[in-house]
Amino acid sequence: MSLIMREPGLYTSIQDLGRQKFQHIGIVKNGSIDQLNHRLANMLVGNDEDEALLEMTFKMPSIQFTEPTLIAITGAHFPAYRDDKKILPYKIHLMNKGEVLSFEDAHKGTRVYLAIAGGIVADEWLGSKSTSIRLGMGGHKGRLLQQGDEIELFRNYSPLQKKLFANLEETKTADWGVDQYTLALNYFTDIFHIISGEGMSHFKQDEIKNLENRVYKVSNRFNRTGLTLEGESIVNREINDQSFLSVKKGTVLLNEENQLVIMLNDHQSLSSYPQLGTIASYHIDKLAQKKQGSKIIFKTLSIEEAEKNMKKHAQFVKQIKTGIKYKLQEEMQKQIET
């Protein structure tokens, strides 16, 4: 029994939180780009936070369920339907045998995460089930999902998940979830904090100021490798004799056309392009939800300032997770009416 991809969507793949500790040999991390929404989706259905799930991008798929299945949807606002009935994100839903999950076009955002209680079966490579499209490894045959693909369910149900099946047998949907408005400020602002990097020394002070004084937009050149931005360049000269520097998720580069590029999960390990710095970790996830035409406004921060903000962000995330754990404990204590 499995999930069947009736329509694959434009860029649907299996991802977990990525491959760790292999970037020094040129193997990129891969994994879900919006890791907060990845974690929240898994938490809602009682999975470990790093369990593999479906990352769905731009155009959503249509998925048929061949057995009762608990799901949670997080991320971008693509209205979702169980057959013809609308269902809400950030809640637990019980899909019955034969039912189809489908989506309308997005209102906001780019990527949606679909977690399945108990997990899904996928190819593992270097300790991760994440799909590496470039290398053809991991996930489902190392590629994007296609029409007709069947994704086997792991069915490794915990006592909590078995209780959720019973609790939702009649209602089909939990009466609680994560408040989307709580997450809105985290995702839909246009300001991105950038921390100066080693390559910043190649830029003049007035050029660095240009970075904050201009508004950029995401171009049509964006994917899992990075976002290329449109807008007036911060420099009008060629920067030569660049040494190779390490690249990570969130690194901001100036490419050969003097366009700003923000690197994402499937980035290369090294680059000789001039680097302006790195997006602060607490603003990385919202990069995943920016689409063509989205505004990007940079604000430079010191490491000390970023660390203070990081602590605040960690506390914000902790509060959301604590709320989910509390509600799941309540589910375990519910008595089923007969």
- CA–CA separation, 232 and 255 (whole Å): 13
Q: Give rounded-to-5 percent helix, strand, coil for the chain.
A: 25, 35, 45
Residue 102's nearest CA partner among 8, 1, 169 is: 8
Range 13-25 average pLDDT: 83
Q: Is the pLDDT of residue 46 over 90?
A: yes
- Alpha helices, DSSP H only, in the chain? 35-44, 159-167, 180-187, 205-213, 284-287, 303-333
What's the rounded Cα separation, in Å, for the pair 43 and 30? 21
Which of 51-55, 207-211, 319-323 is predicted least confidently?
Answer: 207-211
SS (H, E, C) 107-152: CEEEEEEEEECCCECCECECCECCCECCCCECEECCECCCCCCEEE
Cα Rg of the chain (Å, integer)? 21
Look up residue 335 and give its amino acid: Q
Strand partners, 261: 228, 253
Q: State the pLDDT at residue 141.
A: 96
Higher pLDDT among residues 25 and 60, named by residue: 60
pLDDT class for 188, splitting at 50, 70, 90?
confident
Alpha-carbon gap, residue 200 to 55, rounded angstroms: 34
Residue 255: what pLDDT?
87
264 backbone dihedrals φ, ψ, rounded to 5°: -120, -160
Helix axes 303-333, 35-44, angle to 10 degrees: 10
Residue-level pLDDT at 338 = 46
Say yes or no to pLDDT of 321 above 80: yes
Q: What is the mean pLDDT of the chain?
A: 90
Helix (H) or strand (E) holding 45: none
- What does the pLDDT read at residue 213? 86
- The whole-angstrom separation of Cα 311 and Cα 324 is 20
What mean pLDDT is predicted for residues 182-204?
A: 80
* DSSP, res 257: T
Phi-psi region of 168 (alpha: psi -120 to 50; beta: other; left: phi over 0): alpha
Q: Which SS3 state, helix, strand or coil, does residue 74 take?
A: strand
| φ, ψ for residue 78, nearest 5 deg | -105, 105
The CA-based angle 253-255-256, given to 5 degrees, is: 155
Are residues 54 and 62 in contact, defined by beta-carbon separation less than 8 angstroms?
no
What's the rounded mean pLDDT across residues 268-291? 88
> Is 280 strand, coil or helix?
coil
pLDDT tops 80 at residue 263: yes
Give the whole-angstrom CA distance, residue 228 versus residue 52: 28
Predicted model pTM: 0.93
Neighbours of 308 (CB within 10 A): 11
The pLDDT of 60-84, averaged and rounded, is 96
Distance CA 187, CA 71 (A): 22
Per residue in 90-147, pLDDT (tens digit) is 999 999 999 999 999 877 899 999 999 999 999 999 999 999 998 899 999 999 999 9
| CA–CA separation, 300 and 279 (whole Å) | 9
